Amino acid sequence: MTASSRPVRWGILATGKIAHSFARDLRLVPGTELVAVGSRREESARRFAAEYDVPHAHGSYADLVADPDVEVVYVASPHALHLEHARLAFEAGKHVVCEKPLTLSRAEGEEMVRLAHEHDRFLMEAMWTATHPVVRRLVAEVHAGRFGTPHQLHAELGFRVDVPPQDRMLNPDLGGGALLDMGVYPLTFAHLLLGEATELRGVATLSPAGIDLDVAITGRYPGGALATMGASMTSWSSRTASLATDLGRLVVEDFHHPATARFVPYDEDGPGEPVVLSGAEPVIGRGYGNEAAEAARCIREGLRESPLVPHHQTLTLLGQLDDLRAQIGVSYPGA
C-alpha cells in the first residue's frame, strides 16, 4: 500500500450530537478509518467507541490528540471551544476538521488559520453545505448562467429549540444563538451562489441572557442580487431556499439536507416543465460523509486547505457574522 492509498485515520474530539452523526457517516466513506475518540469523561468515550467500533477511547482531549494512530482530529465541541481544541490538535501535529462556525469571531478564525500554517497542517471548517453534491451542482450551474440572472435569493433555517439555559444553543459562554448555529447556513448558501455580500443588515429577538433566538437578515450581492435570510430557535421554518432569476425560479426544499433541487422556468404563459437537478456524485449518508471524503482527499494529496471550503471563504463568513452580531447587539465573553 502506498502512502497516498493508506486510509486517512480520524480521531473524534467530543461525543455530543454532531459527533454521532459524523461517526455514522464516516463509516460509509471509502479510504477512511475512525481510530479514536476523546471525551472529557472516559465513560462517554468508551460508550461512543463501543457504538461505532472505535479501537481507542480516551478520557481526555489531550490523550486523543497525543494518540499516534490519529492523523486528523474532527473537533465537535461547542463553538466557543473550537480554537482551544484545534490548537491542542495542531500542537500535537494533527490535521484538523473543525465544526462550524469555525470560531466565535473572525479574529479567532484568523488565529486558527495562523496555527494551521505555523504547524503546516490541513485545516477545514466542517461547512458541509459547501461539499454537498447538490449544492455544488447548483453553484456550478448558477455561475455558468444556466438559470439566467439571479435577482432574489431566500433561505431560512430554524427549528424550535427546547433545552435548558446552560445548553450550548442558549448559553452565551458557549457561543449560543441562532445566527452562529443556523444563520451561517443561509449566509453560506448565498455566498456560494451569489458571491461576497457587499452589504448585510440584521434584526433579531434576543433571549434574557442576550443571545439571538430569531434573526432576519437582508443582503446585497455582486451583480445587484438581493437576499433575505433567516434563522430561528423558536419556530419551525420551511428550511427552503429559492433563487428567482429573470428566467424562472430555482427551489431547494430542505436546503440543509437536499436530495435534489428543481428549476421551474417561467414566461408570460406561466411555469414551464421543471428541471430536476441532482449532484454529480452520490450524497454519502446525511451529507457529512461528503465533507469527510473531501477532507480525506485533500489530506492524501498533501493540501493544506480545501478548494471547496477555502480559509478565505470561512474567514469572510466569520466577518459577516461579526458584523451582524454587532448590529443585533450580541457579544460573547472574550470574543
Ligand X SMILES: NC(=O)c1ccc[n+]([C@@H]2O[C@H](COP(=O)([O-])OP(=O)(O)OC[C@H]3O[C@@H](n4cnc5c(N)ncnc54)[C@H](OP(=O)(O)O)[C@@H]3O)[C@@H](O)[C@H]2O)c1
Which of 4, 6, 41, 224 forms a contact with ligand X (CB under 6 A)? Answer: 41
Interface with ligand X by CB under 6 A: which range of 9-17, 28-36, 193-201, 220-228? 9-17
51 binding ligand X? (CB under 6 A)? no
Three-state SS for 18? helix
C-beta separation of 89 from 112 below 8 A: no
Query: x/- binding map, residues 181-220, to ligand X, per CB under 6 A?
Result: x---------------------------------------
Instruction: Give the closest residue to 264 by CA, choosing from 245, 279, 239, 278.
Output: 245
Query: x/- binding map, residues 123-162, to ligand X, per CB under 6 A?
Result: ---x-x----------------------------------
16 binding ligand X? (CB under 6 A)? yes
Instruction: Give dist(CA 64, CA 238) in Å, integer.
Output: 39
Instruction: Give dist(CA 249, CA 207) in Å, integer.
Output: 36
Which of 9, 10, 11, 15 forms a contact with ligand X (CB under 6 A)? Answer: 15
Residue 100 bears catalytic tag: yes
Instruction: Give dist(CA 147, CA 127) in Å, integer.
Output: 25
18 binding ligand X? (CB under 6 A)? yes
Nearer to ligand X, 44 or 105 (CB): 44
C-beta separation of 229 from 190 below 8 A: yes
- Dihedral sign of CA atoms 185, 187, 190, 196 in order: negative
CB of 200 to ligand X, least distance (A): 20
Range 265-324, binding ligand X (CB under 6 A): none
99 binding ligand X? (CB under 6 A)? yes
The DSSP secondary-structure symbol of 224 reads: G
C-beta separation of 325 from 215 below 8 A: no
Beta strand 95-98 pairing with 72-75:
parallel
CB of 313 to ligand X, least distance (A): 16
**Type and span of the H or E element at 89:** helix 82-91
C-beta separation of 160 from 180 below 8 A: no
40 binding ligand X? (CB under 6 A)? yes
CB of 309 to ligand X, least distance (A): 12
Interface with ligand X by CB under 6 A: which range of 73-81, 131-139, 201-209, 305-313? 73-81
CB of 127 to ligand X, least distance (A): 8
Integer Rg of the chain from CA: 20
Number of residues that bind ligand X (CB under 6 A): 22
Annotated catalytic residue within 100, 132, 136, 168: 100
**Look-up of cell digits 500554517:** 117
Angle (CA) 79 83 86, round 5° = 110
Instruction: Give dist(CA 154, CA 240) in Å, integer.
Output: 8
Range 163-182, binding ligand X (CB under 6 A): 168, 174, 181
Length of the chain: 335
CB of 2 to ligand X, least distance (A): 32
58 binding ligand X? (CB under 6 A)? no
Residues with active-site annotation: 100
Binding site for ligand X (CB under 6 A): 14-19, 39-41, 44, 76-79, 81, 99-100, 126, 128, 168, 174, 181
